[in-house]
Structure 1
Amino acid sequence: MTAILAHVVGRLAADSRAVWLSIALALYTLAAVPAATIHATFVEAETSVSAARLFAQAAVVVLLGLAAWAPTLPHYWRGWWLSALGLMLTLVVAGLASGFPGTALAIVNAAPVALGLAVAGPLAGLAVAVVGWIRGNISVSVIGLGCAILMLAPIGGTGAADGPVAEFGLTFPSTQLFGMLLVLAGLVQLARRTLWAVDSSRAEKQKELLMARRNLVRTAERDHELRNGLAGLAGAAHLFKSPALGDDAPVLSSAVAAELCRLDALLEVSDTYPRGVSQAYPVLPVLRQHIALRRCVGMDIRVDAELGLCALGVASTLAQVLTNVLTNCAKHAPGSPVRIQASKVGDAVRIRISDFGPGVRPGAEELVFGVGVRGERSHGDGLGLHISRRLLAPEGGRITMRPSSPHEPGCTVVVELRAAVADRSMLQRAAMADLS
């Protein structure tokens, strides 16, 4: 169980130290401990089992040293493959020992070999514990301490109350159990920390992904607004040289200047949409400016508006909504006359924009405000109406589409703004704007 837990932690956290520990624990539990059990049960296989046990102990010491060093495993190596390779080599050593019993016994009974393993095993475990302490990872320190205790208790112990450990009232099996419990406790804590780190990383990645998606949407919406605004300005630019403008020249010049300011603000702000200070503003000048821009490109567009209409919000919001709606009229109903009606209804300023094109299919009046929804033959982005609704919402406005009927062909979009409570000075400014 400890080997499996260490392997899972290593794979989740991409921690080579935990992978090396998993290989060491797997070889300890699947080779060293069974070899000791077989050695105590089958005396006739003593030479082969002793050689296998010695090799397994030496391999565990080396693996603990690698866990302290923590070299990165190549991507095509896997912990389970190395564990299986260790088990296969242990069986090969046992087979060779049975073929050359004299040589095997000489190696197994050599005092330097036994003394070297007795010293190197606990030191390798302590090295892992020290590395964990230096790196501030208490879990790894506990695991290393448990491994040191495991290697301190010889695998070949009989459980009798003899030797240095017995002086403290402990037997070798109880010492091994205590060491393994320490390893398990450290791995459980390490697994908890790893899972917490994975969850935190996943939450951070999801947050970054969400921010990236929002940025993509913002970029697409901003590009959409820039294209619409520049389309109107492109038509107006060709007419500035024409003497036929006559009295419309001041209105057209004002419209171009207003559009340039709006596009400039759209590029400067880092938020989703350009925002200004919500205040009362006259509605008719904004309508007239966009009518002038659209007439420049040949659109038959007329307005019928009450005088003195004032809305509460930002004038650039209405300008952007008008740009989106009139661009849709030009795309979906080319050559069709466009009629704009503006009046005050209760506490709202209602603006109706109608064309005489094909309209939308019945039942789709609300669907067209979704992101990316566009007509079958449309080559647009399907963002204009969606952007308009999101622009109006913070100001308490709304935009809807009337269902088509045989008596009213085409498409009718209704924009409602909060009406401003106008005082005398505001009415005078609105009246002057209406007459200009």
Structure 2
Amino acid sequence: MLLVLATVPGSRGAHTAALIAGLVAGVLLLIAALTFYFYWLTTPSRRHSWTASAMVVLAAQVLASSAAALVEPTGDRGIAPWATAVDLLATAVVLVLMLLGGRALPNPQPLLVGIGLGMALTVLHAAGPVGQSLVAPSAATVGPLLITIVVGHLAIALLVARDHNLSEWSRNRLVLTILLVGLAQVARSGAFEGWATDLAAAIGQVGAAVLWASATFVMLRDALANQHRRSIVLEESLLEIESSLRGSREQLHEIRSTIAGTASASRLLDDTSISPVTHARLERAIRTELDRLERLVTQEPPASPGPVDLDATLDVLLAAHRAQGRTVVWEPSGGAAVHARPDDVAEALNILLDNAATHGGTASRVAVTRAADLVEIAVSDEGPGVPPEAREGIFDWGVHGSESPGEGIGLSVARRLVTEHGGTLTLAESDTALGSSFIIRLPAARRSEEVHVRDAGH
């Protein structure tokens, strides 16, 4: 506005300056209306959708009336009554939109509704002075029109004040905006003359525009910040749900594997052809696996890490796997022990044995060796091996081949369990085209723990 006043000759008159201020106010009000529309998009409300339409109409009316007055030929006294009549029509339109919002009727396109009505009012402003196709009201009717405009703005302000879906500070600013726009319309009508009237019109329009534009900016900022906080909470909730679901799937994966081995072993107990030694081994395997299954289902607190006899653990697991018709070649290590939780070691080994049977056929091998302070357990199979392109992500959760019958859970769980005890689980490099070998490395039990394990075994 200051730029126009400084550069355009003849713009420094009070009336012209007030009209330029009206143009600036109209632009600001239109920006505020669009900002409120985006606010409505973040917090959808039927009532606020009609408010957004009403604010677009109000902004278009201020902008169109100021522009029409600037291009008005001087000396044409029929324009002020015509502009006042259009102001009254705009006030009625805004009032109707606010009443529709109070009834919570659907308004799926508030922006299009507001722009359409605002363009219609703009055409009416242009039709009076240009074509003289419509009859302008007489100067005597301007007074009643102004009174009606004031009453209409008071009614709109009352409807806004009763909208408790908006915060109190935003309601107060919108009420003041409506009243200032009404004041400017009365001052601009031509019923009052003088620089004070032009100043009141300029202050009313610019003040309303700045007030509502700043308020809608703060409203949109707060709404976006609130949406951001909600998205963070929702993301955290989804992560918790995903973590819980993943834990349930991991637990179900191990329960299903344990039940399969236990069921096969229990069916063999009725076979009279098996030797007493095998029968006793199967009974011990069933008891051990059922105890582990009970701990899985009841989610007992995990036991403290301690010495784990690998020979005893493997003897139980292999009995269950052999009961399912699988061939596993294994030579006892003679007392190798690792420092870990017994159930975690058993679960990791069970996963690797299942994986070998699923992808490598029924024949597999287990080898236990000790090097320095580590114990190495290799589980190998004679299957097709792991393709080079699949080796990198084979331990990722949920990753499995398109033809794989598994869910891509087991190897990820096994690696996690081993890693929690300071160990590693890797896929060994294969020199041959067939077979794969997974190697667990765990810290060896201390010498005193190994003696305790051997004494317990004897």
TM range (shorter): 0.7 to 0.9
Deviations 1:301-324 (A, max 9, x none): 232233332222211111111111
Contact 1:368 1:374 in 2 (8 A): yes
Q: 1:92 to 1:38 in 2, by over 3 A?
A: closer
Contact 1:144 1:183 in 2 (8 A): no
SS state of the match for residue 397, structure 2?
A: coil
Q: 1:12 to 1:409 in 2, by over 3 A?
A: closer
Contact 2:307 2:453 in 1 (8 A): no
Deviations 1:356-379 (A, max 9, x none): 333223575444223344456432
The alignment covers a number of residue pairs equal to 421
- Which ranges of structure 2 fall in alignment gaps of 5 or more residues? 1-30
Distance 1:8 1:365 in 2: 49
1:6 aligned partner = 36
Q: 1:91 to 1:12 in 2, by over 3 A?
A: same
Q: 1:184 to 1:366 in 2, by over 3 A?
A: closer
SS state of the match for residue 154, structure 1?
A: helix
Distance 1:262 1:287 in 2: 14
Give 1:409 deviation, angstroms: 5.2
In structure 2, which of residues 356, 361, 380 is the aligned counterpart of residue 354 of structure 1? 380
Q: 1:261 to 1:99 in 2, by over 3 A?
A: same
- 1:378-417 matched pairs, under 5 angstroms: 378-406=404-432, 410-417=435-442
The answer to whether residue 185 in structure 2 is matched with residue 154 in structure 1 is yes
Deviations 1:147-186 (A, max 9, x none): 22222333552699879x959x962211221122111121
1:114 aligned partner = 146
Higher relative CO (Cα under 8 Å, sequence separation at least 6) belongs to 2
Distance 2:105 2:303 in 1: 57
1:211 aligned partner = 240
Contact 1:255 1:290 in 2 (8 A): yes
Contact 2:64 2:125 in 1 (8 A): no
Contact 1:232 1:293 in 2 (8 A): yes
Q: 1:232 to 1:75 in 2, by over 3 A?
A: farther
Give 1:193 deviation, angstroms: 0.7
Contact 1:48 1:95 in 2 (8 A): no
1:53 aligned partner = 87
Distance 2:161 2:215 in 1: 11
The answer to whether residue 207 in structure 2 is matched with residue 181 in structure 1 is no
Give 1:139 deviation, angstroms: 2.8
2:172 aligned partner = 141
Q: 2:94 is aligned with what amino acid?
A: V
- 1:308-387 matched pairs, under 5 angstroms: 308-336=335-363, 338-362=364-388, 364-375=390-401, 377-387=403-413
Stretch moving more, 93-102 or 229-238: 93-102
Give 1:55 deviation, angstroms: 0.5
Distance 1:206 1:325 in 2: 34
- TM-score (norm. length: structure 2): 0.79
Contact 1:64 1:125 in 2 (8 A): no
Give 1:107 deviation, angstroms: 9.8
Q: 1:289 is aligned with what amino acid?
A: V
2:291 aligned partner = 261
Contact 1:225 1:320 in 2 (8 A): yes
- TM-score (norm. length: structure 1): 0.83
Contact 1:35 1:50 in 2 (8 A): no
Q: 1:421 to 1:156 in 2, by over 3 A?
A: same
Distance 2:133 2:107 in 1: 37
Contact 1:7 1:19 in 2 (8 A): yes
2:3 aligned partner = none
Distance 2:317 2:328 in 1: 10
